[in-house]
A and B are shown apart, each in its own frame.
Chain A
Amino acid sequence: MTSALGSAPTGHDDRRARPTPTRAHRFRWARAAGTGWLYVLPALVMYAVFVLRPLVLTLQYSLYDWNGIGVARWVGLDNYLTVFTDSDLLKIIGNAMVLIVFFSFIPVALGLLVASMVRRITTGAFGTVVRTILFLPQVIPLVAAGIAWSWLLSSNGLVNQALRAVGLGGVARAWLGDFDTALPAVGVIGAWVLLGLCTILLVTGMSKIDPALYEAARLDGAGPVREFLAVTLPSLRQEIGVCLTVTIIAALASFDIVYISTSGGPGLQTTVPGLEIYRLAFSQRQVGLASALAVVLMLLVLACVLPIQRLSRGEKQ
């Protein structure tokens, strides 16, 4: 910091005014700082007005009982108490946790499997095609993924068609409408969206691993499993960290897919915090409770993501 300040503007200003060195220095300093701030200001203002202010308001709302129109009533931490004791809300938070398994663990595990077998996607045309196709789910809106999969998982959809074709017609059902399968079915949609991204990230990381490490492991008589645990996994720590961070946020803050494919049903089987915040705030008019849930969701994301960041970055060095 200090070195940067000392070295900021040299030359230009010196030539014009040089009373005493210290004065000139201070003058330059203040001017440079002022100009610098002008560059930061527009971004900071937009961020403050449309993110920080609403964030503070969310915190404030969460301490009130308010229907969005009338007079708000101070209730202290009651809304938070409700979030942590109401069985429906706890179930909803639990649903988001279950989705982590599908959005996060499955894509990362499958991605690792593919990565350790492919190691590097061929650079030629095949590689380009693979990359392009695997990235498609990242490019289309999640809403479209939701619509496509609602169709695939419906009673007449491809999934049931395939099951019937192999003689498993007995298990065919409307996957998103069934109490037992709705949440995993939503999870499958998320897994589909994120699998390609994780695979590409992991394969890209894989191609940076020094092949000598694998040769050394083979010379030491390591089998594929030992090789994976001793070489692949530690070398990919940072990439795995990235995948987990991105996918866990996607799971906890999921909204689009659920809204489109199930609207949270049947019952509350697939309702996630994001959807419940929307519903509480705009249909039930319980702005206070919605805001408390929003704060909890925000903290939940931080609680999951910060340790991963620390682990994947910290141990790297």
Chain B
Amino acid sequence: MNLSRREQLTGRVFLIALIVVTLLPFVSMLSAALQPRGTVPSGLDWPSDPQWGNFADAFTAANMGALLRSSLLIVAGVVPVSVLIATMAGFGLGQLRVPGGRLVFGLFLLGLTLPFEAVVTPLYYQMQDLGLLNTRWAIILPLIGLYMPFAVFWMRAHFTNVPVELSEAARVDGSSTWQLFWRVQVPLARPAIASLTILMFLWTWNQFLLAIVLVDDATKRTMAGALGAFQGQWGTDLVLLCAGSLLILTPTLIVFLIFQRQFIKALIQGSVKG
């Protein structure tokens, strides 16, 4: 592309400014987290004697071990099931094209823009009736349902683009629908499934509203929900709050940095299709 040197330079300057603005909150939090306990930190002020021990204090105060375990349990309850049943539904709607599928798909689309706030009140009473309030199931089960519009939409979009001839060929070979699904279609759908898995992991880990409404005990919540409780408890101790928040962020950041290529692809595709 023919861009003049000056234009390229201004472009870069803007990008770098954007990067600085994006990173500043994190740096500012880090500088506050490293101040001596009990002091009142100010904006961005690198301490002469960084107190890395604050992170250890925060780890204990936030009960990080229990929080990690809880978030992992919730992710383990939500993500595999969601991905599996959404893939099956996408296969049914996009490849097998079941009669009445259009209607069902329309029903799913209805939920695509649904704010969680719109259903959280009845969900509370529903969970109460099921005796699941304050258990992780109260987060897991509704989340699976709430993810279905996007997940089915996503997987159906993939399966609609797979040529039907492929399924026919498999059938001529005498394989059943179930074999066709697992041996032919799922391996082909791997990229779509991978992106969906990443998005669901992220959304589950960061889910806040359902966690604070349906579960009181912070150690049974998602990471985001636990962070909310942590802020409520340590809101006045800024040093510890910043250290704790950064700690709670770390697992996501690590996972993000490892899989960043896939993450970014998933996030771009996810928002474009959604």
Contact = CB atoms under 8 A, between A and B. Distances in A.
B267 interface: yes
B115 A50 contact: no
A39 B96 contact: yes
A135 interface: yes
Nearest to A115: B11
A8 interface: yes
Interface stretch (B48-56, B61-69, B188-196, B202-210): B202-210
A226 to B, nearest CB: 16
B144 interface: yes
Interface string B28-44: 11001000000011111
Nearest to B227: A143
B168 interface: yes
Interface string A295-310: 1011001100100000
Interface string B88-125: 11011100111101101001100101111111111111
Nearest to A207: B1
Contacts of A151: 25, 28-29, 32, 238, 241-242
Nearest to B260: A132
A110 to B, nearest CB: 8
Contact of B44 (A36, A54, A158, A256): A158
Nearest to A293: B117
A124 to B, nearest CB: 13
A278 B175 CA distance: 51
B92 A37 contact: yes
Contacts of B252: 139-141
A270 B172 CA distance: 63
Given A46-B85, A143-B208, A253-B115, A134 B97 contact: no
Contact of A277 (B25, B85, B117, B238): B117
A281 B212 CA distance: 13
A80 interface: no
Nearest to A132: B260
Nearest to A12: B171
A297 B117 contact: yes
A140 B19 CA distance: 16
A111 to B, nearest CB: 9
A246 B260 CA distance: 21
B144 A46 contact: yes
A42 B1 contact: no
Contacts, number: 322
Contact of A40 (B104, B111, B206): B104
Contacts of B107: 44, 47, 52
A5 B99 contact: yes
Given A7-B168, A114-B11, A140 B249 contact: yes
Contacts of B28: 148, 151-152, 157-158
Contacts of A190: none
B102 A1 contact: yes
A48 B111 CA distance: 11
Given A117-B11, A120-B1, A294-B117, A57 B245 contact: no
A256 B146 CA distance: 17
B145 A281 contact: no
B268 A200 contact: yes
Given A36-B98, A246-B274, A50 B144 contact: yes
B161 interface: no
Nearest to A47: B148
A51 B117 contact: no
A7 B164 contact: yes
B253 to A, nearest CB: 7
A144 interface: yes
A137 B2 contact: no
B208 A211 contact: no
A33 interface: yes
A192 B25 contact: yes
A233 to B, nearest CB: 18
B187 interface: no
Given A138-B267, A255-B209, A44 B89 contact: yes
B228 interface: yes
Contacts of A277: 117, 120-121
Q: Which 4 A-B pairs have the closest CB atoms?
A: A50-B145, A161-B43, A39-B92, A36-B98
8 contacts: A5-B99, A32-B96, A33-B99, A47-B149, A52-B111, A55-B122, A255-B117, A274-B115
Given A1-B97, A133-B23, A141-B205, 11 more contacts: A39-B88, A46-B85, A54-B119, A135-B267, A143-B206, A152-B43, A197-B267, A274-B117, A278-B120, A281-B121, A294-B121
